[in-house]
Amino acid sequence: MCGISGIISEANRDDLPSLIRAVNNAMAHRGPDADGFFVEGTIALGHRRLSILDLSTSANQPFTDQSGRYVMVFNGEIYNFKEIREQIREYSFITTGDTEVVIAAYAKWGISFLDLLKGMFALAIWDRVEKTLFLARDRFGVKPLYYYKDGERLLFASEIRAILASGLVSRKVNREALTGYLKYQSFTAPDTIVKGILQLPAGTWMLYRNGQLEQKKYWEVSRTRSEIPEKEAPAIQAKVKDLLFHSVERRLVSDVPLGAFLSGGIDSSAVVAIMSQVDKEAVNAFTLSFEEKEYDETPWAELVAKKYNVRHTKLLLTPADFLEKLPEALNAMDTPSGDGLNTYVVSQAIKKSGITVALSGIGGDELFAGYPLFGQFASLKRWAGVFDHTLALRRMGAAFLPHGDQRSVRIRELLRMPTADISGAYPLFRQIQNLRSLEELKAPGYNDEGTLEKILNEAQPDIDRFETYSQVSIADYLGYTQSVLLKDTDQMSMASSLEIREPFFDHDLVEYVLNVPDHFKAPTSPTQPKRLLVESLGDLLPPEIVQRRKQGFVMPFDLWMKNELKDFCEQRIYRLAARGYFSEEILVDFWKRYLSGKSKIRWMDIWIFIVLEYWLEKNEME
């Protein structure tokens, strides 16, 4: 786990050493163990290292292959690097980790080597002979990669702030992308908050040659449809269990201490349970606890920890503690997001305990139908035959619905959908700010089809080949998962130099579960969520964990924003209102209506504006 950066400049080359150092230093938190540089002709590469595998200096980067032709900077972990290494016996390896295996694989197979990699990564490889730069990102977008290109230069880095640190990019807000942020609390690739800076999409490679960029998808979650050989429940459950065990086992490869997040929910409990079966010495479990009983999940976490005799650490968080850490957490955001603060707090505490790598249960809900929207979309699809042929009638009915809270607005917009497709329904289910709110705020580009909507519309023919639950999973992988969940996990954990690994994002596991028919996933009762996961693991999960009501990680933001955080929030609302991005009068009134408690405005509806203004101030945006 590291930070990578690079600059190709056809203009002034004398300043490359100072430029790449400035870019690299802006990501020091991503790799406190070592930094390294390669500067030659038109190219400069930088690397910040967080040592996980092969702790020797021989594995420092930038890394040059044995021929001297290829130079690479790499961020991430390749969990099957030992198997790949066995296929490259002609190469004389000098290290024992995954970095050298990656560059050797590229030297042997070229771009097709990406198909072999099982893991999370963002990488850049410079060909000193052909003078080409190859960039690639893992299938799910676990590891970030941003780039900027003008007529003379190409810059790339693991973080937006690193590219800004070069001083070569104007600090102008990408106003057209603000609507997407307000809708979904983050920016969907390739958009970012900064005009001109782009994200390389997940599962994509890019080649720079003679000043031109070529970009291509090498893996798409919506194109993984296939028939699974197992047809009966016991065989399917056995296969899911086997894939889960393999996924966790792969992620235990490390030369530094390991830990795990343990919330007491099904997903994190499953990860800890499997870890304890694979390697009893590997499990150090950490739980965030609260004095307020309604937020505290410690009793369930303790139950799991006791069952598997793991080393369990409870991290008490008081409101005062959190509020004190809030500026730190907001400063950790490389890109604005309405979520992720909890990840920062837990990551910081785990790192201080001496752990460098932690496994997380995120992704279980998205894969195993753990959210209400799975059932909601399934209900919609059951009526698709009627729904798809009553558009005129539905639109008439929608016109008579009252303008009220987010729920009533969502129902009205659902009724106006042309057909019961996931490309239309998913954005409505996931919206923070709805279209009506954006119209009132005069948000830039609010009438335009957003990036997420375009991605889903293009993928719809492929998504249609899957059953209903898998359609929701795929939409979530293309939407919330990439843009919020994984992005927040990376930026908030790496702020504390902690590597997080996510077993539920193993592509072998995901591809299989997506092709399991719905009737093996559908709950048999309201008290049995994530049925396929629970039945596959059997008695590994304590019944108390399975049967408890889903809680999720909740903090009393509504209370704080109207009390302890009121001045902090109000200052930023007024400053953002004065910038001219939105209607100043409407945004201020929005805040006042929230404070009054008379309007059904949620704390999240306000918080995304506050985070946005904080980020704009911190990064001195024009």
Q: Which of 358-367, 391-400, 580-589 has the lowest mean pLDDT?
A: 391-400
CA-to-CA distance for 477 and 468, rounded, in angstroms? Answer: 15
Enzyme catalytic residues = 2
543 pLDDT higher than 60? yes
Residue 172 pLDDT > 60: yes
Contact 174, 192 (CB under 8 A): yes
pLDDT at 466: 98
Q: What is the pLDDT of residue 290?
A: 79
**85 contacts 101 by C-beta, under 8 angstroms:** yes
Alpha carbons 582 and 588: distance in angstroms, whole number: 10
Given a contact cutoff of 8 angstroms between Cβ atoms, the answer to whether 84 and 101 are in contact is yes
Confidence of residue 524 (pLDDT cuts 50, 70, 90): confident
The pTM (predicted TM-score) of the whole model is: 0.95
- What are the Cα distances from residue 70, in Å, to 85, 482, 616? 17, 30, 38
Q: How far apart are CA 450 and CA 187, in angstroms?
A: 10
Q: What is the CATH number of domain 223-368+480-547?
A: 3.40.50.620
Residue 1 has pLDDT above 70, yes or no: no
Q: Where are the domains of the chain?
A: 2-219, 223-368+480-547, 372-474, 557-618
Amino acid found at 89: R
Q: What is the mean pLDDT of residues 309-315?
A: 90
Using the structure block, give the residue that is written with the tokens 């903090």.
555
Q: Which pairing describes strands 153-157 and 146-149: parallel, antiparallel, or unpaired?
A: antiparallel
Which band of pLDDT confidence, cut at 50, 70 and 90, is reported for residue 526? low
pLDDT digits 0-9 by tens, 111-153:
999 999 999 999 999 999 999 999 999 999 999 999 999 988 9
> What mean pLDDT is reported for the chain?
92
Dihedral sign, CA of 351, 352, 354, 359?
negative
Q: How confident is the model at residue 398 (pLDDT cuts 50, 70, 90)?
A: confident
Candidates 296, 294, 295; CA nearest to 314 is: 296
pLDDT of 404 > 70? The answer is: no
Spatial contact of 326 and 344, defined as CB atoms under 8 Å apart: no
- Please state which CATH number belongs to domain 2-219: 3.60.20.10
The radius of gyration of the chain from alpha carbons, rounded to an integer in Å, stands at 24
Q: Please give the pLDDT value at position 444.
A: 75
DSSP-based three-state secondary structure for 205: strand
| pLDDT-based confidence at residue 448 (cuts at 50, 70, 90) | low
| pLDDT band of 283, cuts 50, 70, 90 | confident
pLDDT of residue 481 exceeding 90: yes
The residue-averaged pLDDT of 473-481 equals 97
List Cα–Cα distances, 227 to 51, 64, 475, 500, 504, in angstroms: 41, 42, 20, 32, 21
Task: Give the pLDDT score at 405.
Answer: 66
Query: Which H/E stretch holds residue 410?
Result: helix 406-415
pLDDT of residue 553: 57
Span 379-397, average pLDDT = 87
Q: How many CB atoms lie within 10 A of CB 242?
A: 13
pLDDT of residue 197: 98
* 59-96 exposure pattern, b = at least 16 Cβ within 10 A, e = fewer: bbbbbbbeeeebbbbbbbbbbbbeebbeebeebeeeeb
Helix (H) and strand (E) counts in the chain:
27, 17
Given a cut of 80, whether residue 539 has pLDDT beyond it is yes
Q: Quick one: average pLDDT of 282-308? A: 84
Of 467 and 443, the structure prediction assigns the larger pLDDT to: 467
